[in-house]
Amino acid sequence: MALVNCPECKAEVSSAATKCPKCGFQIRKPKRGVLGKLIKYGFIAFNILMVIWLVTGMQGASEVIETSTTGAEEAGAVIGTGLGAAMIVAIWVAGDFILGLFVLFTRPKG
């Protein structure tokens, strides 16, 4: 490890340090590791997947509701759509909570 000068107070600081120990100036931004990046991008991909799943589910349900011939069929389709949307949202919230904790615990420390 080499020594570099702090841009703020000109003290000698290790090149591996993220902050100057003398003045606290942030020398470099800490970066995520490979696992942290995979978990972060997995979290983003999960949210995109859930949006697509919810939108396509609602589109499919609206087609069934529009083509229903009786009131009972329409009521059943509406109730089923509501239950399906609630299930998707529940999975979304649970998944975001779990993956969000992984993202939080793999963030860079600095």
**Hey, what amino acid is at 23?**
C
The partner residues of 12 in beta bridges, in order of sequence, read 5
User: What are the tens digits of pLDDT across the range 43-84?
Assistant: 999 999 999 999 999 999 888 888 888 999 999 999 999 999
Q: What is the pTM of this model?
A: 0.73
Distance separating the N- and C-terminal Cα atoms of the chain: 17
